[in-house]
Structure 1
């Protein structure tokens, strides 16, 4: 287990020539290359017997024979397989590209096992937990945080529509994918937070039973999430022939974003040798700054809140510890492109 613990501490996107991050964004012909297949073979090694993957692993790392043997011995250990931080649905997208380019059946088989894992992990109400098999605690919540559920639904939507490179998926699984995203849409609409009877946006995670905004880690309190809600709205915008309920959901969320954007402020990185990292992230006044939205926002007022590891709400980024300021993005221009381009283009249609 010591080997696996070390691997889990690696960054998903290292700066190496063939990092996992870069491997996901190559031209189509690259996925037929020996290097692409080497990485795909790694992806197969990291896949667990239940079809899922752990998170925060650079799949492009070159593995020794001993490391490969260690991974094979861990395949039956399913505790920890997850959709958090892009895990599982990201590996599946990669395998589909390499299968399309090479036709190697082992990539197809692993992909289909991963899809079965995602379909099995979905709650009956349409939501997805952060970990499957279920891990007790906040991991059980319906998880929008870090694009987890939306990442899964985008993949399943492409499969249901028989889009490339997923057009090798059989009709039975395509049907199940369509049913899964339909249930997922129902819970997205049901979890949109109402304040004084008006729809707003979403929390990063919601209770799986009563759908209320839910707490995760100490600094992730029940709140309205600018980042995660942007991703949800972007998903909704791509629905063909949206229902009136979907239209109302989109317009309500956009109205909230418009009403709660922060102007006249700017987020900057500054050198600061008083910290080990040598830098800090600060918010400064700037007449041309904005729009910005909080990662977490007070449910009643919609104003950004800043919470460190002590779990206490502060009003300014500078009020929380530097480790959190540089390690977590509390305020950014999350919905800027949504408001400037994506939503206006959608509104022209509907």
Structure 2
């Protein structure tokens, strides 16, 4: 039922409530909310701030004496595609792959991570050029002026590390430089892990709202964990050069990430469900992100987390319980014979779909009616519904009033859980419900 908060003025069918912004990681929050982890989080934030300050100092020193600052490279969401990870070995031994690897090293932020959406063309970074796709000013002090200068969003950092590893395996030229860059990147991922085992979207942390939240969105945390586990278990021979000390750190970080997943699977009405897209660093509850992304359960990322848990060897009771609870949720909320395409949920007998977001207060898997088992949520920008500029975003109970751009420009529904449930059928035969 819609509230009477007056935020939605026009095209408000099925309007529910306003969305709000989430809180960043600050020392004040650490002092009041970190509890027994106060000292660990204080050290974490201090180290992060020092790393960011060093990054800024390095760029400022590079630009000292330059007559002009080189323009930023620019960005494109196809960036990861220019670092392919499934080519034949001959590709990684090529001069083109070598040029791209050299470029990747040149754009590594000194603290160890990379920017996102960077098209790799084989042209190395110019002195003083931004490490990311947009222009950055090392003298700027605002939290939003240094965002994504080192990030795990949109497959950033994990893709660069994997690509470099393949190139250094395939050829000897610049191998030492590539290996050093990889080690720096691995350490950045490990350093970025919060003391309570989640990962933020950026490192160093940006101090800007949802970027500091534990980020499951776009599989950011999961991508880190997968890579660290491959390194820690020696299952990926591209990282054979990594020493045992760093391997052990990688394995421990990945294992602690699983601990975070198991501890923070959302419980509604006494039943475990799935996970949020972002979780607050201290309350550990799902928290809002962008204006059209509310605190909620999320299907897409949760399905992949469930698949990851099923892929781990020798699962204990807690892991098996988590998988069954998640699959119970997906079975209860499944929309049969539908697929999301071009902003419309269309009929397709071969597909099943789920809304991207579900309400945190509604879950009854035994209810006969789908809408009573869970409530789907849909977000939109506030200004498209006549809201005041101070309103962050709006939340609806259907797509009826959601703007056309948010319907065609965002996956309001997805079918990711379908493959996971197929895998669960065989997995459950070997792992009965506890």
Fold match (TM-score > 0.5): yes
Cα shift readout 1:106-147 (whole Å, capped 9, x = no counterpart):
111100000011111111111111111111211111110100
Q: Contact conserved, 1:45 with 1:72, CA < 8 A, in 2?
A: no
- 2:55 counterpart residue number: none
Q: Contact conserved, 1:227 with 1:334, CA < 8 A, in 2?
A: yes
- 1:7 counterpart residue number: 74
Unaligned runs of 5+ in 1: 270-280
Where do 1:196-211 residues align within 5 Å? Answer: 196-211=269-284
- 1:348 counterpart residue number: 429
Residues 1:25 and 2:92 aligned together? no
Q: Secondary structure at the match of 2:344?
A: strand
- 1:232 counterpart residue number: 305
Residues 1:292 and 2:358 aligned together? no
- 1:274 counterpart residue number: none
1:105 aligns with one of 176, 189, 200: 176
Please identify runs of 4+ aligned residues in structure 1 that moved more than 6 A: 72-78
Q: Contact conserved, 1:291 with 1:333, CA < 8 A, in 2?
A: yes
Residues 1:155 and 2:222 aligned together? no
- 2:206 counterpart residue number: 135
Give the Cα separation in 2 of the matches to 1:49 and 1:178: 24
Root-mean-square deviation over aligned CA pairs: 2.2
Q: Contact conserved, 2:71 with 2:130, CA < 8 A, in 1?
A: no
Q: Contact conserved, 1:282 with 1:317, CA < 8 A, in 2?
A: no
Give the Cα separation in 2 of the matches to 1:154 and 1:76: 33
1:146 aligns with one of 218, 222, 227: 218
**Deviation (angstroms), 1:69:** 3.1
1:172 aligns with one of 238, 245, 250: 245
1:322 aligns with one of 393, 401, 404: 404
- 1:278 counterpart residue number: none
Give the Cα separation in 1 of the matches to 2:425 and 2:272: 20
How many equivalent residue pairs? 327
Give the Cα separation in 1 of the matches to 2:403 and 2:137: 40
Q: Secondary structure at the match of 1:120?
A: helix
Give the Cα separation in 1 of the matches to 2:306 and 2:348: 28
**Deviation (angstroms), 1:13:** 4.3
Give the Cα separation in 2 of the matches to 1:255 and 1:227: 15
Q: Secondary structure at the match of 2:104?
A: helix
Where do 1:69-84 residues align within 5 Å? Answer: 69-71=127-129, 80-84=149-153
- 2:379 counterpart residue number: 307
**Deviation (angstroms), 1:287:** 7.0
TM-score computed with the length of structure 2 as normaliser: 0.71
Q: Contact conserved, 1:45 with 1:71, CA < 8 A, in 2?
A: no
1:118 aligns with one of 189, 201, 208: 189
Q: Secondary structure at the match of 1:36?
A: helix
2:161 aligns with one of 60, 76, 92: 92
Q: Contact conserved, 1:260 with 1:303, CA < 8 A, in 2?
A: no
**Deviation (angstroms), 1:314:** 2.1
Q: Contact conserved, 1:295 with 1:332, CA < 8 A, in 2?
A: yes
1:262 aligns with one of 310, 316, 335: 335
Q: Contact conserved, 1:291 with 1:336, CA < 8 A, in 2?
A: yes
1:215 aligns with one of 278, 288, 293: 288
Give the Cα separation in 2 of the matches to 1:208 and 1:73: 27
Q: Secondary structure at the match of 1:328?
A: coil
Q: Secondary structure at the match of 2:198?
A: coil
Cα shift readout 1:287-318 (whole Å, capped 9, x = no counterpart):
73641011111223333221111222223334
- 1:182 counterpart residue number: 255
Higher relative contact order (CA 8 A, sep 6+): 2
Q: Contact conserved, 1:224 with 1:297, CA < 8 A, in 2?
A: yes
Distance 1:102 1:72, change over 3 A: farther
Distance 1:349 1:326, change over 3 A: same
TM-score computed with the length of structure 1 as normaliser: 0.87
Cα shift readout 1:160-217 (whole Å, capped 9, x = no counterpart):
1112112221100011011111211111111100001110000001011121111111
Cα shift readout 1:236-285 (whole Å, capped 9, x = no counterpart):
1121111100100011001100000112433233xxxxxxxxxxx2223x
Q: Contact conserved, 1:283 with 1:317, CA < 8 A, in 2?
A: no
